[in-house]
Amino acid sequence: MTAVALPIAARLRRGASRSRLGLLLDAVFSSGLFVGTFLGVLALGLLLWTVYDRGWERLASDPSGFFANFVSRFPARAGIKAALYGTAWLMGLTALFSFPIGVGAAVYLEEFAPRNRLTSFVEANIANLAGVPSVVYGILGLGVFVRFMRMGPSLLAGGLTLALMSLPLIIIAARESLRAVPVSIRLAAYALGATKWQAVRHHVLPAAMPGTMTGVILSLSRAIGETAPLIVIGAAVSIFNTPDDVRDPFSALPVLIFNWTSRPQPAFAEAAAAAGIVLLAMLLAMNTVAIFLRKRFATRW
């Protein structure tokens, strides 16, 4: 037993009980992970900087015009008013449809559904739906809402399509947060003579709400950044009034950006980047709210 003879300082020294290879691997992995994180942040920084660099001048030179004008053949006079309104309407409609349905489905699956084949089939398919490309939802929206239900390329059809697209993620996020509510809370409610619905309604659902809201906002922010499904169902660019009804045709920021970037004039590319800044600002604001909700209201059990 030579170790007994070693002084304490030697026994506590780095590497005293670990091989050199172990220490080396430790260093390699932690620096590898750091580089990975760094690359991710770098890519995001580059993206933000490019958009800022290309679009900021255009945005700052005439901000009121940029927000207040409709589109135009002349890049200097073109603005994003219709698209901004359209995106705001879409966001509201998408939230309106997807939130109650998504949370309802999550509550049913998590709290009430019998554990049988049908339920696991539905659960597996929700996970699959979350992976379906957004353009496919556009095709679905075109077939069902625009044509079959005769909604035309309206805000309603757009909102419903984006809501359908957001549903799987909302259901998954809501179920996660429902599952995070400890069983002991449900038992406490039952032991007081509460029905299942009362336990869910008064305790489980409120406790799961911050997590659910975070999921809802994140999937909403994904939805309003979507271009493909809106183009497929027929979102327009040349719209010269703001919508005042869900049956109105609409434009949206990502659609407008797509349109502007495909034009030859460099000034339109700048306008597209400027609109991109607006869209990014909206998304970042939403994500900030989501993080805030999670940090501020989440129950720590």
β-pair partners for 249: 154
Give the nearest distance from C-beta 199 to other proteins in angstroms.
9
- State the residues that interact with other proteins by CB under 8 A: 115, 182, 184-185, 187-195, 198, 202-203, 206-207, 299-301
The phi and psi torsions of 249 (rounded to 5 degrees) equal -70, 165
- Tell which residue, 80, 89, 69, has the closest CA to residue 247: 89
Structure tokens at 71: 């589109």
Among the residues of 81-204, which ranges form H helices? Answer: 81-107, 117-130, 134-141, 155-179, 183-191, 196-199
Q: What Å distances lie between residue 243 and 2, 7, 44, 75, 202, CA to CA?
A: 84, 81, 34, 23, 38
**How far apart (Å, rounded) are the C-alpha atoms in residues 259 and 84?**
15
The SS3 of residue 196 is helix
